[in-house]
Amino acid sequence: MRYGIRAFDTSAYYGPSEIVLGGVLKALKDEFPRESCKLITKCGRYGLTPAEFDYSPSTIQRSVQRSLERLNTTYLDILYLHDVDMVADEVMPKRDGDHSTALSEDREAYDLGLGQEGKVLGEGDGKVLEAYGELKRTKEQGFVKNIGIMGNYLKLALLVRQKYGPMDVLMSFCHLTVQNDTFTPFVRELAGRAGVGQLLTASPLSSEALNMCSTWNGGLPNIALGFAYRNARDLGILTAVGMGSLEQVHETVKVWREIALDGSSQEREEHEDEVLRVFDASGCRNYS
């Protein structure tokens, strides 16, 4: 926290993460009181399989109370429904590939055409809407300041707006990276048409072009982080990064400071272009 990192994103699904984070924050509370940081967690997903998703209102309430206890806090700054993509009814003409045409010639096929905003397709959509209603109640009770969904799903953001009003926050993941930056055209639709108050992107790393960046200090993770930070900054959104060691913390902060203070160097952008050419040549650019 002395490094300036004051927002922490975790989940009920991430093993003992909430317990570990809560213990650290409790130990540092005299130096860093609760209001000095943002605590973000998720609910609804508790394992790897579809059977380990539970979006029922009673489970949502229990999950929130357990997260508050684990994090040693009386409120959460952000609460997400976790991985709504795996619960909502699936609408797409193809499962795999480049889905950027969802905002152009394939709008109707992706259920994103004008007039389709309030269309509930089935049981999955109903579960998400019911769970979001429970999140709204936790906010009204004062346990949560901001609520939203985690998932690459404009359709659900539109559906939520029709029933409850614009959501506070939405986190996309794996779609503003050096391998796949198809989140970019969705930003305007999510902020404008769906009225989402704050957009975030997460999971900025790719791993298919390690050799292309071997001569760059920090390698591909450094290049990928810089790409994600710069593009998110230009779009006016935030980036969440996972870190598993002190070395990764140092590297992440180093790249963030470089982009925030000095911008992007020509050499860095040349390495990015090399990586992009690898993805283009392999046919996996913008592949989901």
Report, as an integer, the average pLDDT of 248-272. 90
Report, as an integer, the average pLDDT of 189-207. 91
Q: How far apart are CA 261 and CA 174, in angstroms?
A: 25
Using 50, 70 and 90 to split pLDDT, how confident is the model at 151? Answer: confident
Using 50, 70 and 90 to split pLDDT, how confident is the model at 206? Answer: low
What pLDDT is recorded for position 117? 87
Which of the two residues, 281 and 18, has the higher pLDDT score?
Answer: 18
| CATH architecture group of domain 7-173 | Alpha-Beta Barrel (3.20)
Would you state the structure tokens that stand for residue 143, as one six-digit string?
Answer: 């346990």
Report, as an integer, the average pLDDT of 39-61. 96
In sequence order, what DSSP letters do the residues of the chain get, joined into one string? -TTS--EEE--TTSTTHHHHHHHHHHHTTTTS-GGGSEEEEEESB-SSSGGGB---HHHHHHHHHHHHHHTT-S-EEEEEETTGGGTSPP--S-SSS--GGGGTTTTTTTT-STT-TT---SHHHHHHHHHHHHHHHHHHTTSEEEEEEESS-HHHHHHHHHHH---SEEEEESSSSSS--TTHHHHHIIIIIS--SEEEEE-----TTGGGGTTSTTHHHHHHHHHHHHHHHHHT-EEE----SHHHHHHHHHHHHIIIII---HHHHHHHHHHHHHHHHHT-TT--
**Across the chain, what does the average pLDDT equal?**
92
Report, as an integer, the average pLDDT of 232-257. 93
Contact 51, 60 (CB under 8 A): no
Which of the two residues, 116 and 31, has the higher pLDDT score?
Answer: 31
Using 50, 70 and 90 to split pLDDT, how confident is the model at 83? Answer: very high
Q: For the whole model, what pTM was predicted?
A: 0.92
Using 50, 70 and 90 to split pLDDT, how confident is the model at 213? Answer: low
What pLDDT is recorded for position 127? 96
Torsion of CA 152, 158, 159, 160, to 10 degrees: 90
pLDDT digits (tens, 9 = 90+) for 166-191: 999 999 999 999 999 999 999 999 99
Can you give the residue ranges of every domain in the chain? 7-173, 208-288
Residue 215 has pLDDT above 80, yes or no: no
What pLDDT is recorded for position 208? 66
Using 50, 70 and 90 to split pLDDT, how confident is the model at 74? Answer: very high
What pLDDT is recorded for position 212? 60
